[in-house]
Structure 1
Amino acid sequence: MSARLSLALDSGLELPEAGRILLLHPAGAADLSALPADRLLAVQPLRPDWVALDRRGIAAVPELDGEERFAAAVVFVPRAKDLARALVALACRVTDGPVVIDGAKTDGVEPLLKALRPRADLQGNLSKAHGKIAWFDAGPVAEDWAEAPREVDGFRTRPGVFSADGIDPASAMLAGHLPERPGGHVVDLGAGWGYLSAGLLGDAGLKRLDLVEADHRALSCARAVIDDPRVAFHWADAREWRPEGAADAVVMNPPFHAGRAADPGLGRAFIEAAARMLTGSGRLWMVANRHLPYEQTLAEFFAQAEEIGGDGRFKILRAERPSRRRR
């Protein structure tokens, strides 16, 4: 980002000399050196990126709250088209000065800018480092792009969250293989907008359900529809979070992408985390894409593991008795 922003600042982009600068969806490792650090407010709903920004001393919140006005805004284009448009609409609504759009070509910055051209007077448009940056004066140019509530089979979703348009088929398959009574204390690791958690609440023997999700926006959807005193919501990185007291069971549909690249290491880290938080007789149920090689990791961290269902796309895995030497 910094290379494109520095180029833009040398090519006509003028940021106000006073007032806060809003950063929407910056990565935790984003190079922000071209901006005045003491004037920045980053909005980043993904817990790992939020933590990284906070550790760097950059003021960060998971979501924008209140009626604060900003002197300028920078939108870091996410991959999800509808989320990118919602962020542009938000920037235009709360900003009095320039709105800067910065993104990689692989994340869809070009079609976003194409859609903006009939709406806004783009004052600059530069390409560098496999991406583009453009800017325009804030105004009512994207009001119809504003985020709107979504309902999916009685659940709430938001643009950009995992499986925003419907129930994920892998999660639905996992739900069909869960036992009626998985345990008194269950953890839904990487719970998204709450589909698996909602199904678990039908068990009268359930005493505590920890819903752990790194995406604050997805977690807000789960909070909106799950109202049960047995449930605790945690905005946290599932790989690092620890429950209060060991759990009887963990259920999960772990992510396996970091950006556009497949990263099975994420699923392996989820398995290791699950093993650490379970009792000695605890059990793990998970779903994964058929091609992902998680069996070796399960064998390393559990005394017993097996495939209990699936099809050509997905496999349902159950593991029992986490290895004590790994806990």
Structure 2
Amino acid sequence: MRSERLLFALRNDLMALPDSGDILVLRPRGTDDLSMLPMERVCVMQGMRTDYDALVARGYNVVAEPPAEARFAAALVCVPRAKAEAYALLAQAAALLQPDGMIIVDGQKTDGIDSLLRDLRKRFTLSETVAKAHGKLFSFRPGADDMADWAAKPQTIEGGFQTLPGVFSADAPDAGSVLLAAHLPEKLPAQIIELGAGWGFLAHEILRQPSVKTLHLVEAEANALACARVNILDPRAQFHWADATRFKLDRGVDAVICNPPFHAGRDPDPALGQAFLQAAARLLAPHGTLWLVANRHLPYDRTLATLFQQVEEIGSDKRFRITRAARPNR
């Protein structure tokens, strides 16, 4: 675990934190143990709303993005799965450091820390590496190198959509969302919520229909929502940086459309998708309808039968099935 490596490095004098100045921690999980860092000096950057809320609840100073003028004595980069995102976080850390500031890098082997270590060794002098708990931790000082060539760069994909490194399905629309779009009715109702809107592919398809008066895009990942704001310029769209499972509106809507996630980090978590279904039922008006795409193997049937009076499969392929569920139970 991250805490084991960081604590080992500090206790064994393999690394020393600066005596003064703030410390930036980039993209830790909401459950990560950061207690070995001086809390009063820590600023956490976390764009995933669920982790953001958990860290705020623990008393940390948390921001989705640090102010551009902020400067930190040290930065701890918690390496994500996507290599392009890891590069971008390192460049962001370097740009926000004080002169002679230090970057600490920590990650699991399954998230590509060994590859990142090799890349950084070609460019910087690194500290001794701490290898524990199936991961590695090390540090370096970028000096005058702002690592701008590694910074996050928006990419334009098929259809003219813009995405950023690390967002879900950054290279092309997700196949499940494409299938769901093809099975939506020719006339959608007026008031709609999309739970887990991502960078906006489904929203773009939904807003093709003039019958839609308002579409609420609910997305927990700030970078994905930022892309959606670029991709969806329709004035009927309203954007919400929120945990979909806790999102609320003043009144129920006519429809919820979603392609819910079913992983928490690297681990499959069907309960997360079930929480999306529960949120959909809660957000719908009594006459409302849910349109859902999900992998065929996911155990959603019993949950849907409990939440809705009408449930029917309206389409499928080898990987996904499309479900229409209507009239939520109260």
Q: What TM-score do the two structures reach when normalised by structure 1?
A: 0.96
CA–CA distance in 2 between the matches of 1:225 and 1:272?
28
Residue number in structure 1 paired with 2:204: 198
CA–CA distance in 1 between the matches of 2:183 and 2:56?
40
CA–CA distance in 2 between the matches of 1:248 and 1:49?
30
Matched-pair contact (CA < 8 Å) for 1:124–1:136: no
**Bigger mean CA deviation after superposition, 2-11 or 208-217:** 2-11
Give the letter for the 1:107 counterpart. Answer: D
Give the letter for the 2:249 counterpart. Answer: P
- The alignment status of 1:241 with 2:264, answered yes or no, reads no
CA–CA distance in 2 between the matches of 1:174 and 1:65?
39
Residue number in structure 2 paired with 1:149: 154
Residue number in structure 1 paired with 2:122: 118
SS of 2:51's equivalent in the other structure is: helix
Give the letter for the 2:256 counterpart. Answer: V
Tell me how far 1:204 sits from its aligned partner: 1.5
Matched-pair contact (CA < 8 Å) for 2:315–2:321: yes
CA–CA distance in 1 between the matches of 2:231 and 2:296?
31
Once the two structures are superposed, residues 38-81 of structure 1 have per-residue CA deviations (whole angstroms, 9 ceiling, x without a partner) of 11111100001000111111101112332211100000011111
CA–CA distance in 2 between the matches of 1:129 and 1:12?
17
CA–CA distance in 1 between the matches of 2:183 and 2:89?
38
Match of 1:51 among 36, 50, 53: 53
**Bigger mean CA deviation after superposition, 90-99 or 310-319:** 90-99
Match of 2:84 among 73, 82, 104: 82
Matched-pair contact (CA < 8 Å) for 2:199–2:231: no
CA–CA distance in 2 between the matches of 1:88 and 1:259?
20
Once the two structures are superposed, residues 139-177 of structure 1 have per-residue CA deviations (whole angstroms, 9 ceiling, x without a partner) of 317332111111122111111110011111110010000
Residue number in structure 2 paired with 1:6: 7
Residue number in structure 1 paired with 2:272: 266
CA–CA distance in 2 between the matches of 1:114 and 1:138?
16
- The alignment status of 1:166 with 2:168, answered yes or no, reads no
Residue number in structure 1 paired with 2:226: 220
Question: Number of residue pairs matched?
Answer: 324
SS of 1:192's equivalent in the other structure is: coil
SS of 2:198's equivalent in the other structure is: coil
CA–CA distance in 2 between the matches of 1:205 and 1:143?
45
Match of 1:134 among 138, 144, 151: 138
- Structure 1: segments with no counterpart, 5+ residues: none
Tell me how far 1:240 sits from its aligned partner: 0.6
SS of 1:57's equivalent in the other structure is: coil
- The alignment status of 1:280 with 2:286, answered yes or no, reads yes
Once the two structures are superposed, residues 244-275 of structure 1 have per-residue CA deviations (whole angstroms, 9 ceiling, x without a partner) of 31110000000011111111111111111100
Matched-pair contact (CA < 8 Å) for 1:28–1:50: yes
Match of 1:35 among 16, 34, 37: 37
Give the letter for the 1:15 counterpart. Answer: L
SS of 1:176's equivalent in the other structure is: helix
Residue number in structure 2 paired with 1:66: 68
Tell me how far 1:18 sits from its aligned partner: 1.1
Q: How high is the sequence identity, in percent, across the aligned residues?
A: 52
Give the letter for the 2:79 counterpart. Answer: V
**Bigger mean CA deviation after superposition, 246-255 or 219-228:** 219-228
CA–CA distance in 1 between the matches of 2:180 and 2:20?
52
Match of 1:255 among 240, 252, 261: 261
Please list every run of at least 4 consecutive aligned residues from structure 1 whose deviation after the TM superposition is greater than 6 angstroms. none
Please give the root-mean-square deviation of Cα atoms over the aligned residues, in Å.
1.1
Residue number in structure 2 paired with 1:102: 106
Q: What TM-score do the two structures reach when normalised by structure 2?
A: 0.96
**Bigger mean CA deviation after superposition, 206-215 or 103-112:** 103-112
Match of 1:208 among 205, 211, 214: 214
Matched-pair contact (CA < 8 Å) for 1:119–1:141: no
Once the two structures are superposed, residues 8-48 of structure 1 have per-residue CA deviations (whole angstroms, 9 ceiling, x without a partner) of 12233121111111100011111111101011111100001
Give the letter for the 1:147 counterpart. Answer: A
- Structure 2: segments with no counterpart, 5+ residues: none
